[in-house]
Amino acid sequence: AGGTFVPAVVIGTGYGAAVSALRLGEAGVSTLMLEMGQLWNQAGPDGNVFSGMLKPDKRSSWFKTRTEAPLGSFLWLDLANRDIDPYAGVLDRVNFDQMSVYVGRGVGGGSLVNGGMAVTPRRSYFEEVLPQVDAAEMYDRYFPRANSTLRVGNIDKNWFEQTEWYKFARVSREQAAKAGLKTTFVPNVYDWDYMRREADGSVPKSALAAEVIYGNNHGKVSLDKSYLAAALGTGKVTIETLHQVKTIRQQKDGTYLLTVEQKDADGKLLATKEISCRHLFLGAGSLGSTELLLRARETGALPNLSSEIGAGWGPNGNIMTARANHMWNPTGTNQSSIPALGIDDWDNPDAPVFAEIAPMPAGLETWVSLYLAITKNPQRGTFVYDAAKDRADLRWTREQNAPAVAAAKSLFDRINKANTTIYRYDLFGKQLKAFADDFCYHPLGGAVLGKATDNYGRVNGYKNLYVTDGALIPGSIGVNPFVTITALAERNIERVIKQDVVAK
């Protein structure tokens, strides 16, 4: 057997990976985590770890020459983006032909860049999406475990009602109510008490300083402060950063051998390493885990992988849209970057929609109400291996997003009608466009539970090989996904440690 041997390797440091590493560490298993991004704990020359959203620098983006913000334009002007040097920054936009996918890079994965919205899905929809999973066990045990370990909290409703920072959300709530739609408060991993102190001026601002997609310098309980801190605290888990796993193969004795590239933050190759392990956990996210498995199947390294690898991908029905408010109905110059409310029309049988009321913290009045709609789109994409580029390509067409656009449109048409307002067409690039249907924040699927794996994430065709992350969920979960990814990982790793790791 080649390379340095460790009992367990976890690839990635996002939700599925962090859960698996913590529980392996607690069980006494020496575990190595390999993360292609950086550890974000060192201040740059400006005294901050992350660059903000309004003046992004190279820390914002994963090897780009120009930032690629989701809201690229305002009045069709490219105001938000900046030229930057290629660097191992925290947010990546993976551009496929007809769909772009935003993902986090660094210790904590998506938790570093996301909005922290921590939503437990409606039980009936969870049962519809993953019918083979015991829902009672999930809702009694694993969702509560995920929520408490992630440190999910709720906003103080009295404060919400009076603070200028959530005027934008109250305006959208009132407009939704005029159309007969109900809104709901959304829990978050952002420390709400810290946010109130930001508003008082007693601590440095983060959510109230327009920080989110390029990292929060304060306030957010990302995975490095919750699951990963606890994992390191077991004394059994170590993390190697700027280490990207390129290939996986199995050796004669059943152990796995990984080829890993170590780079510096400017992208210079420092070393190519071989690491072997007995138990291998893939937590590289829907895109990353699927790509590693596809490459292994198509290059013959793991020939017994099933044809289900690469299938069942979806963007969780994500559609971004924005409405233009009347001059007498401003949304406020001060907006918290952390969403607090959602419009919940998921029980509408014709077009279920859960729409996050998103801020647009531009530091000036925009008269814009922005939303990230989560819709129920049955269309699925497929990853295929592109041998020439040695990468996974996504087969997904714009037309496949038409059902999602139609659902979002039916909801926001109602709101516009009730408020005599219209859409904004200038926010999503150079063309006239009211619905952003070409990017997503919630990639799900590619190695679906019960299809590419057994009912606990064990990859079909191989022993001691597991998928732990968003790749397991078949394309849709109806709400923001990280609580579900975390809870499912909790359920799976408990079984795997008991039956496959400790029992041996």
Provide the phi-psi class of 307: left if phi over 0, else alpha when psi is between -120 and 50, else beta: alpha
- In the region spanning residues 402 to 461, those forming contacts with ligand FDA, defined by CB under 6 A, are 441-442
Work out whether 103 is an interface residue with ligand FDA (CB under 6 A).
yes
Q: How many of the other CB atoms lie within 10 Å of CB of 6?
A: 16
Q: Are strands 31-34 and 4-11 parallel, antiparallel or unpaired?
A: parallel
Pick 245 or 448: Cβ nearer ligand FDA: 245
- In the region spanning residues 199 to 238, those forming contacts with ligand FDA, defined by CB under 6 A, are 213
What is the nearest approach in angstroms of ligand FDA to the Cβ of residue 53? 11
For residue 74, which amino acid is it?
F
Residue 19 DSSP class: H
Six token digits for residue 62 = 């994963």
Element (H, E) at 257: strand 256-263
Pick 325 or 472: Cβ nearer ligand FDA: 472
Number of helices (H), then strands (E), belonging to the chain: the values are 11, 19
Q: From 30, 86, 79, select the one nearest 275 (Cα to Cα).
A: 30
What is the nearest approach in angstroms of ligand FDA to the Cβ of residue 436? 13
Work out whether 171 is an interface residue with ligand FDA (CB under 6 A).
no
What is the nearest approach in angstroms of ligand FDA to the Cβ of residue 109? 3
Q: From the list 8, 9, 10, 12, which residue makes contact with ligand FDA (rule: CB under 6 A)?
A: 12
- In the region spanning residues 241 to 270, those forming contacts with ligand FDA, defined by CB under 6 A, are 244-245
Work out whether 342 is an interface residue with ligand FDA (CB under 6 A).
no
Distances (CA, A) of 355 to 321, 376, 441: 10, 12, 13
d(CA 452, CA 491): 18
- In the region spanning residues 270 to 289, those forming contacts with ligand FDA, defined by CB under 6 A, are 283-286, 288
What is the nearest approach in angstroms of ligand FDA to the Cβ of residue 235? 23
Q: Count residues contacting ligand FDA (CB under 6 A)? A: 40
Distances (CA, A) of 117 to 56, 94, 286, 326, 401: 23, 22, 19, 28, 23
Q: From the list 8, 9, 10, 14, which residue makes contact with ligand FDA (rule: CB under 6 A)?
A: 14
If 0-12 CB within 10 Å is exposed, 13-18 middle and 19+ buried, where does residue 372 land?
A: buried
What is the nearest approach in angstroms of ligand FDA to the Cβ of residue 129? 15
8 three-class SS: strand
Taking CB under 6 A as the binding criterion, the range among 114-122, 137-145, 301-309, 420-428 that sits at the site for ligand FDA is: 114-122
Q: From 39, 50, 195, 49, select the one nearest 116 (Cα to Cα).
A: 195
Taking CB under 6 A as the binding criterion, the range among 123-131, 168-176, 454-462, 477-485 that sits at the site for ligand FDA is: 477-485
- Maximum separation of any 2 CA atoms in the chain, in Å: 72
Work out whether 36 is an interface residue with ligand FDA (CB under 6 A).
yes
Q: From 113, 128, 98, select the one nearest 478 (Cα to Cα).
A: 128
Sign of the C-alpha dihedral computed for residues 19, 21, 24 and 28 taken in this order: negative
Q: From the list 8, 25, 29, 35, which residue makes contact with ligand FDA (rule: CB under 6 A)?
A: 35
Q: From the list 332, 470, 474, 478, which residue makes contact with ligand FDA (rule: CB under 6 A)?
A: 470
For residue 443, which amino acid is it?
P
356 is catalytic: yes
Q: From the list 445, 482, 488, 493, which residue makes contact with ligand FDA (rule: CB under 6 A)?
A: 482
Read out DSSP for 333-365? Answer: S---SS--EEEEETT-SSS-EEEEEE----SS-
Work out whether 15 is an interface residue with ligand FDA (CB under 6 A).
yes
Pick 96 or 367: Cβ nearer ligand FDA: 96
Work out whether 114 is an interface residue with ligand FDA (CB under 6 A).
yes
Pick 37 or 314: Cβ nearer ligand FDA: 37
Work out whether 354 is an interface residue with ligand FDA (CB under 6 A).
no
Residue 393: HSE in the Cβ half-sphere, 13 Å Cα cutoff: 12
- Choosing from 68, 211, 291, 356, the catalytic residue is 356
Which sequence positions are flagged as catalytic? 356, 442
Using CB under 6 A as the criterion, which residues of the chain lie in contact with ligand FDA when the complex forms?
Answer: 11-17, 34-37, 102-106, 109-110, 113-117, 213, 244-245, 283-286, 288, 292, 441-442, 469-470, 480-482, 485
